[in-house]
Amino acid sequence: MVDAKGRVIRASKKRNSDLLWATKGGGGGNFGVYTKYKFKVHAAPAKATVYRITWPWEQFPELLKAWQRWAPCVDTRLGSEFSIGPKKGGNVTMNGLFLGSKTEALRLLRPMLGVGTPTSKLIRLLAYPKVVDFLLPPDPILTQRESNQFSSGYGRRPFPDKAIKYMRRFLEQVEGEFAGFFFLNWGGAVSRVAPRATAFYWRKAKFYVEWNSSWVKKSDAAKNIAIARGLRRKLQPYIVGSYINVPDQGIKNSGPVYYGANYPRLRRVKAKYDPGNVFHNPQSIPPAAKSKGK
């Protein structure tokens, strides 16, 4: 990392370990400019099973209830994304991968396949490079027309009917192919790391949830921002935290919301490596105040 004074700092388990800890979930733009990372990677399997299933939009309440009961408890080799588009032109989509055979994937997916009336279903065993292409196709090189207001949180229990009612109202108001809800099942490797072992704190949830509004005309910005932030206030009783990679400037006192109980330690790391707060943004980590007598 290059710090505010232009010095090159190396961080590892043995040297500047507090900085290494902070980079594992401490958000970008807080401590300096990172120029190089060294990763230990996992060996990829030869093959894996991918799936994509869609349903009509109107069936989202029963599908979401089923997904929130099923996804956090299913085999940890199975990852699941659950997306709900806006009422106008949207649908319900569930996709993901299973690190195993198609036969076993079908068995594990059966609880969801029995809900509602799927309009399309794809379940396929692929070589792992094709799995990556399926889940992460190359981004098209396009001029971005849409603007978005995101917010997010973590659920520790399934949403009750009241929360789903708020979701429905939101989905009836927003428009555009990028607007709507996005859920991820949690647990697995995420939950096997202690919340204080890295700067990323929210490891004990059942699922991650993200929503966003979308607009093209600047005159629609204020309305769409208000809709997304208003939904956050309504969903607050049912979520904890928020994900720093989809920052929401409507969140007040955002530090503990993004970083949980790790926020005080992150402020101390900030004070050590960037005491002048050179690297800052509207929701960056401020340096901890110096204690009296120092």
Q: What is the DSSP string of 118-179?
A: -SEEEEEEEEHHHHHHHHSPPPP------EEEEEEEEESS---HHHHHHHHHHHHH--STT-
| CA–CA gap between residue 256 and residue 242 (Å, rounded) | 9
Domain spans in the chain, listed from the N-terminal domain onward: 47-135, 147-251
Q: How far apart are CA 209 and CA 243, in angstroms?
A: 9
CATH topology of domain 47-135: Vanillyl-alcohol Oxidase; Chain A, domain 3 (3.40.462)
3-state secondary structure of 55: strand
The confidence score (pLDDT) of residue 27 equals 81
Q: What gap in Å lies between CA 14 and CA 41, rounded to an integer? A: 20
CA distance 71 to 207: 8
Equal CATH topology for 47-135 and 147-251 = yes
Task: Indicate the burial class of 38 (C-beta count within 10 angstroms; 0-12, 13-18, 19 or more).
Answer: exposed
On whether the CB atoms of residues 91 and 198 are closer than 8 A, the answer is no
- Which pLDDT score is estimated for 274? 97
Are 96 and 51 in contact by the 8 Å Cβ rule? The answer is yes
Rounded-to-5 percentages of helix, strand, coil across the chain: 35, 20, 45
pLDDT per position as a tens digit, 171-226:
999 998 889 999 999 989 999 999 999 999 999 999 999 999 999 999 999 999 99
Amino acid 293: pLDDT: 56
DSSP-derived 3-state class of residue 5: coil
CATH: 1.10.3720.10, 3.40.462.20, 3.40.50.12780, 3.40.640.10. Which one for 147-251? Answer: 3.40.462.20
Work out the angle at residue 29's Cα, subtended by the Cα atoms of residues 25 and 35, and round it to the nearest 5 degrees: 85
Query: pLDDT below 70 — which residues of the chain?
Result: 291-294
| pLDDT at residue number 292 | 62
> Helices H, strands E: what count in the chain?
8, 7
* CA dist., res. 209 & res. 67, Å (int): 12
Q: Which residues contact 85 (CB under 8 A, 6 or more apart)?
A: 57, 91, 92, 93, 171, 177, 179, 180
pLDDT tens per residue across span 54-70: 999 999 999 999 999 99
| H runs (alpha helix) in the chain | 17-23, 60-70, 102-113, 128-135, 161-173, 221-235, 254-259, 263-273
Task: Quote the pLDDT of residue 139.
Answer: 78
